[in-house]
Amino acid sequence: MHLGHHLVDLLTKMKVETVFGLPGGQTLPYYDAIRESNGKIKHISLRAEKSAAYAAVAYSRLTNKVGVCDATVGPGAAEFTAGLGEAYNSSTPLFALFSDIPSDWEHLRDHGNASQGFDQLEMVKPFTKWAARVPSAAALPDMVRNAFLKSVSGRPGPTVLSVHEDIFKQKWDGKESDIPSDLGTYPRLRPCADRSQIEKAIKILKAAKKPILFVGGGAMISKAEVEITELAESLSIPVLQTFTGRGVIADDHPLAIGLTGGLGTLSGKKLAEEADAVFLIGFKSGQNSTFTWTIPSPKQVVIHLDIDEAEIGRVFKAEVGLVGDVKQTIQEMLLQLNNDSDKQEYPDRLEWIRAAKKEWEDFVSDELRSEGKLLKPQQVLAALNSISNPEDVLVCDASFSSGWGGTYYKHKTAGRKVITPRGLAGLGFGLPAAIGAAAAVKDGEVYLIAGDGGFGYTVGELATLQVYGLKVTIIVLDNRNWGWMEWLNKLNYQKEYFDLPSIDFSKISAGFGLNGLRARNQRELTEALQDAKKSPLSSIIHVDTALWETPVIGFREAIGKNNKQPVKYM
């Protein structure tokens, strides 16, 4: 046996079941060991390394396990950067394995003197919590343990190990390593924030007239859906969610406001602007969710809970800082509230929330009623909501697709049901991430929303769906344009010039042995969704959609006012 067998044994001990990647000559020992693992580890081979990383990101978010992916030396490692950046910025734990040139070629690495050689670890360090080379076979167990430990500890993120080709080929005597098995899942530990600070936070929330919960991805990483719903109910506080915080509360709950920020609901914007106290929960204060860092405003009292101490006060001054795991800390808050003899009701808060929700619901109803020659993306999401089940998962590509899915898709139950690329927000995330989701989801359908431009990035991954028998229903919103860029161009320069060629993706699917459908109106869309649901194969539903529809609040406001002033990216 060789070191590839040892590595697979270590991954098995970490309870790794599925990995994503592409083979290379230097990683063949690892692939050989996976094939001989008797199905303990399933390897899904994609058509590009970036796709493998994206698939691992989605898989990790849905399973709360470390996503595992691999790439060969040189160009394979270079292709991983976008996926690692997505994982790093979205605090998603990954373990990425790179192969490397033989160790005695180290002096020939510069300028690719050794074929495909370059300093790949230095390249990925800005996107990782830890990146290192395995210097010997003896070091492998401790380094794998350390990589997983760092990936799941504190604020999660990706780690990378690079293994020289000659080390991969070294013999392994079969002696098993003593390695903890609790490092493959997260969160690992649950520290609680200081109880005196929790008391201060509760006093602020009880005294405020219009408090809001601003819930980010840290809450979903912590799996704090039950606790946050109970906290909102106990104090009658609306729950506004970021892209990565979506699903922390079911959308039909009276306190659920949905997605907030520049791509969110109008009710979220209204409540965020009118609030006098803002509780940031697992929230990195990102540009999109804070309306380009204008909310919280200096007039609003801020409470901030995060497991990463450096986040508190990094962007907004916090009256109270709570450093701890979201689930554990909210549980302590609930304990204090339940023991509080001064229990109150907040009818004014409930009326404030109800009015804002109704205003948004009326706005959406008007959108859905209006008719045009082409379907609106809002109408497509409404049709999807009517056919999807609570256990189904929606994956969105970047740009407008994330806005449509994040804002209009209904969470029928609490939990992570929408996956979007919010780390780097790169086009081409959708189809690979849907593959990762399909590998993770045991019950329920996986849907993908992608624009025609973004879907073209990774259309070759349709072959991956076919070869592994994975089922994804792909809805391509075809506006024949780079939509976001065309909107910016029209608003800033009063010009239109980003047309894309018309491609019939429903016909392309046939070449990959998949189901192809086309929808030009509401009836055809409903029938196509029903056909796709019945089919055992993955399906592409090509939907012709209107260009001049946008989920970006700022774009809507600008076009409505005939604005001639420059419009920011967000």
Query: What are the structural domains of the chain?
Result: 3-168 (3.40.50.970), 195-354 (3.40.50.1220), 370-560 (3.40.50.970)
Q: Per-residue pLDDT for 463 more than 80?
A: yes
Contact yes or no for 540/474 (Cβ under 8 A): yes
* pLDDT score recorded for residue 371: 80
**What phi and psi values does residue 424 have, to the nearest 5 degrees?**
-115, -10
Q: How confident is the model at residue 342 (pLDDT cuts 50, 70, 90)?
A: confident
Can you tell me the distance from the alpha carbon of 303 to that of 520, in angstroms, rounded to the nearest whole number?
Answer: 48
Average pLDDT (125-141) is 94
Share of the chain above pLDDT 70, in %: 98
Average pLDDT (270-295) is 96
Average pLDDT (158-162) is 97
Q: How confident is the model at residue 564 (pLDDT cuts 50, 70, 90)?
A: low
Identify which has the larger pLDDT, 452 or 113.
452
- 224-246 residue pLDDT tens: 999 999 999 999 999 999 999 99
Q: Per-residue pLDDT for 570 more than 70?
A: no
Average pLDDT (419-432) is 95
Q: Per-residue pLDDT for 391 more than 70?
A: yes
* pLDDT score recorded for residue 404: 96
Q: Which residues pair with 171 in a beta bridge?
A: 2
* pLDDT score recorded for residue 281: 98
* pLDDT score recorded for residue 562: 64
- 162-182 residue pLDDT tens: 998 888 888 888 788 888 888
Average pLDDT (417-425) is 94
Q: Which residues pair with 10 in a beta bridge?
A: none
Q: Which residues pair with 95 in a beta bridge?
A: 68, 159
* pLDDT score recorded for residue 133: 95
Q: How far apart are the first and last CA of the chain?
A: 55
* pLDDT score recorded for residue 497: 83
- 180-199 residue pLDDT tens: 888 999 999 999 999 999 99
Can you tell me the distance from the alpha carbon of 519 to that of 517, in angstroms, rounded to the nearest whole number?
Answer: 7
Q: Write down the mean pLDDT value for the chain.
A: 93
What is the model's pTM? 0.95
Q: How confident is the model at residue 153 (pLDDT cuts 50, 70, 90)?
A: very high
The beta strands (E) that lie in 58-190 are given as 67-71, 94-100, 130-134, 158-164
- 487-521 residue pLDDT tens: 888 888 888 888 888 899 999 999 999 999 999 99
Q: Which of 184, 235, 232, 156 is nearest to 414 (CA)?
A: 232
Q: Which helix (H) or strand (E) holds 279?
A: strand 277-281
